Amino acid sequence: MPRFALLLTTFIWGATFPVTKAVLEQIPPLSFLFLRFLLGAILVGALFVLWRRRLHREWAVLRAAAIATCWLFLGYVLQTVGLQYTTASNSAFITALYVVIVPLVLCRFDRRVWVATGIATVGLWLLVKPSASGNLGDLLTLGCALAFAAHIACLERFTREVDAPSLFVWQMMAMVVLLLPILLIERAPAAAFAPTSMLLIGLGITGGLATGAFAVQIWAQRILPAQQVALIFASEPVYAAWLSWYFLGETLDLQGWVGSAFILAAVLVGSWGSGSTSSESTVTVVQSA
């Protein structure tokens, strides 16, 4: 049962890539991010009220949330803006590199890390096909993977020092606060906020289902070993690529599929890191994707 629940959770996260790609045809990226996190913050806040759970306001919690949110904000902005210039499948596969980057950020070097990094580098080159001009979307998405990895390096420490649910709530609220002034600068036309079916579906998946997926992950991680959870989450880019092909008509040539396979292999190798601490760090990464 927990494994099946995690597969559904990963499917939801994979669906956010093509959904966001489609929604960006109507609304600018930062405006959509604001609506997404506003909805998520409202839902999480409502659950705290219904469950009568205390929201911790100690300085340690607020400080941890501020530091972690800086990386979370950077990651989501780079990922969402990057989706304007690259395909949803490319975005999903490149974002998945955070599973490999995390042990590098935490300076946990072993043979598996170097093998995974080498495989991922080859796969990224085959997928992105770098040229003199380069692809801005792929470059921004790679930056988002680095930001998410840094966010996880923070979470590994902070979730053990402060109340984790409160830390999550403060991050959701801080994202809304950070995105509000940028939303005003972006000045999206009123038509961009029209409640079309695509926008409502996008918000339902990214702001509703994806937020609920975090709760499923927390429950499942109490039952399954961290290594198994990480391996299940490695299937996220596969779901994203399949959904992008089915709904958006995106295709990958042979070189792209080979590169994608290399990246997925690197994700799997990186998830098999030795030591419980490394495994736990890798799993936490997915909470930011």
pLDDT tens for residues 126-181? 876 655 455 788 899 999 999 988 888 887 788 778 888 888 899 999 999 999 99
For residue 225, the model assigns a pLDDT of: 54
Name which of 185, 216, 200, 164 is nearest 54 in CA terms. 164
Name which of 282, 257, 267, 270 is nearest 87 in CA terms. 257
> CA angle, 18 as apex, 15 and 24 as ends, to 5°?
130
CB 17 within 8 A of CB 155: no
For residue 261, the model assigns a pLDDT of: 86
Number of domains in the chain: 1
Least confident of 41-45, 49-53, 231-235: 231-235
Express as a percent the part of the chain with pLDDT over 70.
Answer: 83
CB 44 within 8 A of CB 237: no
Distance CA 151, CA 199 (A): 28
Least confident of 7-16, 144-153, 216-225: 216-225
Distance CA 176, CA 167 (A): 15
Distance CA 147, CA 150 (A): 5
- The residue-averaged pLDDT of 60-84 equals 92
pTM score: 0.78
| Own/partner long-range contacts of 214-223 (Cβ < 8 Å, ≥24 apart) | 214/168, 214/287, 216/5, 216/6, 216/8, 216/9, 217/6, 217/9, 217/286, 217/287, 219/2, 219/5, 220/2, 220/3, 220/5, 220/6, 220/9, 221/283, 223/2
Joined together, the tokens standing for residue 284 give: 């936490």
Whether the predicted pLDDT of 63 surpasses 90: yes
- The residue-averaged pLDDT of 213-232 equals 61
Whether the predicted pLDDT of 271 surpasses 80: no
Name which of 88, 116, 96 is nearest 234 in CA terms. 96
For residue 289, the model assigns a pLDDT of: 42
pLDDT band at 201 (very low <50, low <70, confident <90, very high): very high
Query: Three-class SS of residue 249?
Result: coil
Q: Which domain holds residue 181?
A: 2-288
Higher pLDDT, 23 or 259: 23
